[in-house]
Amino acid sequence: MAKRGLGKGISSLMGDYSMDSKLVSGDKLTYTDENNNSVVMLGVDKITSNPGQPRKYFDTNALQELADSIREQGVLQPILVEESPDVPGHFIIVAGERRFRASKLAELKHIPSLIKNFTEEQRLEVALIENLQRENLNPIEEAQAYRFLIDQASLSQDELSKRIGKKRSTIANSLRLLNLNDVMQKSLKEGVITAGHARALLAVINPADQEILYNKIVKDSLSVRQAEDEGKALNEGSRASKKKVKKNDKIERPADIRRIEEKFLGVLGTRVSLKGNLKKGKLEITFYSSDDLERLYQLLSKKDDLFD
């Protein structure tokens, strides 16, 4: 499948709108903006949500606040839509889902809209970028959107990184969240645990130990640091052993070793342990599924300098 970028992104498709270019419903159903885009006042009953919208949860209180603002100020920026291939005269939202929902709450009959045509991956890409810019996606929605774009547009993580302006390591770490089981993913969606807790869970090798740590995080309201310490102890076999390790018996890992391990973590998006020293030793790279192993192979087969 040919890859098509979005150039300047949403701004190139929608133009730059300010408070001075506010649009409100009225007798005039078509408006030409300063960028020569035709803004159409579409009936809200002719518009439907995009089934590929990456954001699945919309906060009711936040929508009501936006609806109150729209009643007072109107819709400050058009939504982006495309005509439905199945129902002529009807349109599907590409970007602006919150504005659309809030406009319905505000009982508007029409909403300013830009009508464009998109490929399937462009459609999700625009919706994803809009949500990322507004920090509206929960961590699982974000990870699922990355995965969909990679699969549908046949993108590598590097290519996706360039197209949406996110670091490759950020995308890799986000995708790893999909390795959590359904219960843990649901808790992350709902804010019961944080992305930091999720990373601590993913660092635990044994799935049974992951369950133990998850239950402890929820039951005892562990901080991320506490969860990381508990996870490390589980990986070291403390669940199977009653023997306590005294503080004086702990071996402090050299700072330069920890620094290198952290660099590998940032690049590979998974736990890496360095055995030995900086002149001689071995690396242990943790992976969590066959897909994760394939991802690591793709990363390691590139010629990037890990220490830039």
SS3 48: strand
Residue in 34, 97, 142, 262 annotated catalytic: 97
- Examine the residue annotation and report whether 211 is marked as an active-site residue of this protein: no
> Which DSSP helix (H) or strand (E) runs through 162?
helix 157-164
Exposed/middle/buried for residue 86 (C-beta within 10 Å: 0-12, 13-18, 19+): exposed
Listed residue (82, 106, 110) closest to 95, CA to CA: 82
Compute the half-sphere exposure of residue 58: CA atoms within 13 Å on the CB side of its CA. Answer: 16
> What b/e sequence results for 129-146 when a residue is b if at least 16 CB atoms lie within 10 Å of its CB, and e otherwise?
bbbbeeebbbbbbbbbbb
Identity of residue 24:
V
- What distances in angstroms separate CA 298 from CA 22, 143, 146, 161, 265, one per listed residue? 47, 19, 17, 15, 15
Say if residues 184 and 201 touch (Cβ distance below 8 Å).
Answer: yes
What is the Cα–Cα distance from 230 to 210, expressed in whole angstroms?
A: 10
Q: Is residue 187 within 8 Å of 193, Cβ to Cβ?
A: yes
- Token look-up 């919706």 returns 127
How many helices (H) and strands (E) the chain has is answered by: 13, 8
**Residues 274 and 285: beta-carbon distance below 8 Å:** no
User: Catalytic site residues?
Assistant: 97
